[in-house]
Amino acid sequence: MSQPSAFGPDLVEVFGPSQRDGGPDLVQLLTPEGERVHHPEFDLDFPADQLRGMYRDMVLTRRIDTEATALQRHGELGIWAQLLGQEAAQIGAGRALRPQDYVFPTYREHGVAWCRGVDPLDLLGLFRGVDHGAWDPRENNFGLYTIVIGAQALHATGYAMGIQRDGAVGTGDPDRDAAVVAHFGDGASSQGDVNEAFIFAASYNAPVVFFCQNNQWAISEPIERQSRIPLYQRALGFGFPGVRVDGNDVLATYAVTQAALQRAREGSGPTLVEAYTYRMGAHTTTDDPTRYRLSDDVEHWKLKDPIARLEVYLRRNGLVDDAFVADLKAEADDLGHRLREGCKALPDPKPLDLFAHVYAEETDELRRQREGYAAYLESFEGSHS
């Protein structure tokens, strides 16, 4: 029997040795060694262009994350939520979407934002503190980042019930039928909002996919302290299916998410997808994970790197070469340069902008507040004249 960790019981002690690498129900199409395997329910054929595209997405998403982390260290961002190691989970889920589908993210879905066409510079504005999110959610069907843990699960379920009542589910028209995705982490699964969303989604058969990136850590709390069973199995208690997928396998994540989205669009209700992955970096740039987790675990998961395994597969099958990789690196360098320069050039917000997006129609009370604050600001201008 294994000895208890200095940080408390480990995953094997709670879930058993079969769960260390995701367990027997883990859906996987690409092994950590880059070997293509098949699954009886979720197997797909991936064209070469699609594989290269997902590899590019992951490389560029990692570069966004690396640059943003460096910008925070240099004082250009107040904070940054890293996604290192979770690129496959996000790109697989993001590329499975159709244009009419809608996404409700947390504050870490930088890869999904990339897939939805959100300029990564707009993400930086939020973490720089110059805006509350500079993209239009209606333009990309990608909601603003949600900082309140788990709240977006309720938003997603309500939106899904709305499109259900709009007649945009189960029509058989692939250009009309829509689904909603709620992203959250393993820590949020312990929140009441998420469980209430499960209840409403099940009761009303809402077309929503609950996509949980189980990166093993809710800040400093390990998954073993949050659940006594694997997270995907919780779905059965609410009355809808749950699937655990290898969240470091972009092919499997794409296949499982695509199936769950199609099930929702057809009117068959919600699905819980648990993307079993690992947070290789810190929770945010204010966090020091060496205080609560073992370096052996990090080293173990480095061998499952989502980008490395896909590159091995692509090279082994002659789908990319050194020139392709070099061109992609140059593209990533250009992206990094644009983010560095663009971040520093982001304009500071105007004080009166505070009142601009409170209500669609300004109330009398808000107008009085705005006018009073404007007069207060003008008093400073007069003192310098």
Residues 99 and 92 sit within 8 Å (Cβ to Cβ): no
d(CA 89, CA 112): 9
User: Among this protein's residues, is 283 annotated catalytic?
Assistant: yes
Residues 264 and 258 sit within 8 Å (Cβ to Cβ): no
Say how many C-beta atoms besides its own lie within 10 A of residue 17's C-beta. Answer: 11
Exposure class string for 123-140: b at 16+ Cβ within 10 A, else e: bbbbbbebbebbbebeeb
And the tokens for 69?
Answer: 């982390």
Q: Which of 116, 183, 283, 309 is catalytic?
A: 283
User: Among this protein's residues, is 279 annotated catalytic?
Assistant: yes
Q: At what angle do helices 120-128 and 322-344 cross, to 10 degrees?
A: 40
Q: Which of 63, 279, 309, 313 is catalytic?
A: 279
Helices (H) and strands (E) in the chain, counts: 14, 7
Q: At what angle do helices 306-316 and 48-73 cross, to 10 degrees?
A: 150
Assign 210 to helix, strand or coil: strand
Residue 362 vs residues 8, 78, 132, 250: alpha-carbon distances, Å: 53, 31, 19, 46
Contacts of 143 (CB under 8 A, 6+ apart): 102, 103, 104, 105, 137, 152, 155
d(CA 185, CA 182): 10
Alpha helices in the chain (DSSP H): 11-15, 48-73, 87-95, 110-115, 120-128, 137-140, 151-165, 192-204, 234-238, 250-265, 295-302, 306-316, 322-344, 364-383
Q: Which of 39, 56, 98, 292 is catalytic?
A: 292
d(CA 375, CA 175): 51
Catalogue the active-site residues. Answer: 279, 283, 292
